[in-house]
Amino acid sequence: MRHYSYHPQIAVLGGGPAGLSAALAAARAGKQVLLLEKNGYLGGNATLGLPLLGFLDLDGRRIVGGLAQEYVRRLTERGQCLGHRVCPKHNSVTNIDPEGFKLLAIEMCREAGVQVLLHAETIRTEVRNGRMQMVTLYGKGNEIEVTADLFIDCTGDGDAAYLAGCSFESGQPGTGVLQPPTVMFTLENVDTARLFDYIAEHPEEMTYSATIDHRPGYDADYFRASDNHVFVGLRQTFTRLREEGRLPVERETLIYIKSLKPGEVYVNSTRLLNTDATDLIDLTRAELDGQLQCAALTKVLRENVPGFENCFLSHIAPFLGVRETRRFSGIGRLTDEAVVSGSIPDDTICLGAYKIDIHSGSDRSTLFKTVRTPFGIPYGALVSSEIENLFIAGRCASLDAAALASVRVMPQCMCMGEAAGTAAALALENGVLPRDVDVSILRERLLKNGAILTMAQVESTPVNE
């Protein structure tokens, strides 16, 4: 077995939307950063065809800036993003080219001087006196030992925090049921114009259960106006197919994200119930079952949905899209009450406003609850309460279940990562622990780098730059 040792100032675990942003922020602040990722590429869920939800609030105002907006700007300049668009169902959609995001991630890491190591997955940690001394990773018969002044866990599942013995919660209150993961897949040769003609003639296909909020105008005319859309519909068709025993997924509706390419859509409609994606047995079953669901659903769509008659499956995502696993204990916490009330505390490091979006992990239902005003994610939610040199950013941060259901979308994860990376740099510069970082200085630096942290900014920031 080969052995490698790395000794950066800051080690970022996980190269998805949060980890990429954490690494870039810390490296741009002049720190030595090592970014470790288990896949063979960077970008995580941003490479699956998913949209960037969460840039705009209910009133169509942009609440996200910083690195997240920089990604959008640079992709838009390349023709790989259509910018932000108001959506009557999701508040906003920002569709991107997933392969373009992969390449942009590499370029930005090299520009900033981030050292990247792929195919490396955390297997062990060493903790002494409440401090993480070392993280050991493994990949391809290689063992990698990483010591660092500060660690930022952006693995989604909080793998390093978990192996370090940190306290965590998972699942819905009272039941512990986790939101189900999805295997994304791509369809080609979809005639969306024919689909829109069909739903214009059958508006009942765009009705939803009582647990799903949406506003008027989410109809054929909206979809026809721009490829920058996410389609959620065909409830009547799905109900009929389920009653006939022909629907291969536990879904009430079809969900697809329109690609920037003609005739191409990314489908987000497989559903893997009763899955704990931190359990290797569950994870394997879900990956295999989900891939089979992709093929089965494609066949059903070809046979039953106008516009899909000649479609074909061109790509199955290389990993499961996970909505929820572990949430760790921080020195602060984002709660359901703060999300619903629109609380923006003094230590806010980014804003959220996306809906509380809870997919049931035990049946086909979904709760989609409107968040009426922006709220602030507190700095303390990113700082481990148990390991003094550990940050937790992204969906493994200190959140309750309903708060996670709003901030698990990528723009908010990008912002949490950027704040953690910026705070790590400040901690090193001032010789303090993460819990002792001066949040007023952190906020000043985030604002200087384009973050949106106040309602005054929300009121004055253009939607698209």
Q: What is the number of other CB atoms lying within 10 angstroms of the CB of residue 304?
A: 17
In this prediction, residue 219 carries a pLDDT of: 97
Q: Tell me the per-residue pLDDT of 395-446, one tens digit each, with 9 for 90 and over.
A: 999 999 999 999 999 999 999 999 999 999 999 999 999 999 999 999 999 9
Residue 100's identity, in one-letter code, is G
Flag whether pLDDT at 214 surpasses 90. Answer: no
Tokens of 441: 């200085």
Q: Tell me the per-residue pLDDT of 151-190, one tens digit each, with 9 for 90 and over.
A: 999 999 999 999 999 999 999 998 999 999 999 999 999 9
**Mean pLDDT taken over the chain:** 97
- Rg over alpha carbons for the chain, rounded to the nearest Å, is 21
Flag whether pLDDT at 62 surpasses 90. Answer: yes
| Distance separating alpha carbons of residues 167 and 384, to the nearest angstrom | 9
Please state the domain extents for the chain: 2-173+324-460, 185-316
Residue 437's identity, in one-letter code, is V
Flag whether pLDDT at 346 surpasses 90. Answer: yes
Per the CB < 8 A criterion, the answer to whether 134 and 128 are in contact is no
Tokens of 180: 């189900």
In this prediction, residue 33 carries a pLDDT of: 98
Tokens of 382: 């990113």
In this prediction, residue 205 carries a pLDDT of: 97
Confidence of residue 250 (pLDDT cuts 50, 70, 90): very high
Flag whether pLDDT at 460 surpasses 90. Answer: yes
Average pLDDT (134-142) is: 97
Strand partners, 34: 11, 115
In this prediction, residue 54 carries a pLDDT of: 97
Average pLDDT (344-364) is: 95
Return phi, psi of residue 115, to 5°: -85, 130
Please determine, looking at this structure, whether the domain spanning 2-173+324-460 carries the CATH number 3.90.950.10.
no
In this prediction, residue 322 carries a pLDDT of: 97
Percent of residues, the chain, with pLDDT higher than 70 = 100
In this prediction, residue 305 carries a pLDDT of: 98
Q: Tell me the per-residue pLDDT of 312-330, one tens digit each, with 9 for 90 and over.
A: 999 999 999 999 999 999 9
| Distance separating alpha carbons of residues 53 and 68, to the nearest angstrom | 11
Per the CB < 8 A criterion, the answer to whether 115 and 34 are in contact is yes
Q: Tell me the per-residue pLDDT of 14-31, one tens digit each, with 9 for 90 and over.
A: 999 999 999 999 999 999
| Distance separating alpha carbons of residues 359 and 181, to the nearest angstrom | 9
Burial 6-37 (b: 16+ CB within 10 A, else e): bebbbbbbbbbbbbbbbbbbbbbbebbbbbbb
In this prediction, residue 210 carries a pLDDT of: 86
For the chain, the maximum distance between any two Cα atoms, rounded to a whole number of angstroms, is 67
Q: Tell me the per-residue pLDDT of 65-118, one tens digit each, with 9 for 90 and over.
A: 999 999 999 999 999 999 999 999 999 999 999 999 999 999 999 999 999 999
Residues constituting the chain: 465
The secondary structure of residue 182, as a DSSP letter, is: B
Residue 235's identity, in one-letter code, is R
Average pLDDT (204-214) is: 89
Flag whether pLDDT at 350 surpasses 90. Answer: yes
Distances (CA, A) of 403 to 171, 215, 397, 415, 451: 12, 22, 10, 15, 21
Per the CB < 8 A criterion, the answer to whether 265 and 256 are in contact is yes
| Distance separating alpha carbons of residues 416 and 393, to the nearest angstrom | 6
Which region, left, alpha or beta, applies to residue 450 given φ > 0 means left and ψ of -120 to 50 means alpha? left
53-57, 75-79, 142-146, 212-216: segment of lowest average pLDDT: 212-216
In this prediction, residue 230 carries a pLDDT of: 98
Burial 245-259 (b: 16+ CB within 10 A, else e): eebbbbbbbbbbbbb
Average pLDDT (359-368) is: 90
Confidence of residue 211 (pLDDT cuts 50, 70, 90): confident
Spatial CA neighbour of 74 closest among 101, 93, 43: 101
Return phi, psi of residue 257, to 5°: -110, 125
In the chain, the N- to C-terminal Cα span, in Å, equals 50
List helix spans (H) across 268-409: 280-304, 336-341, 401-407
Flag whether pLDDT at 454 surpasses 90. Answer: yes
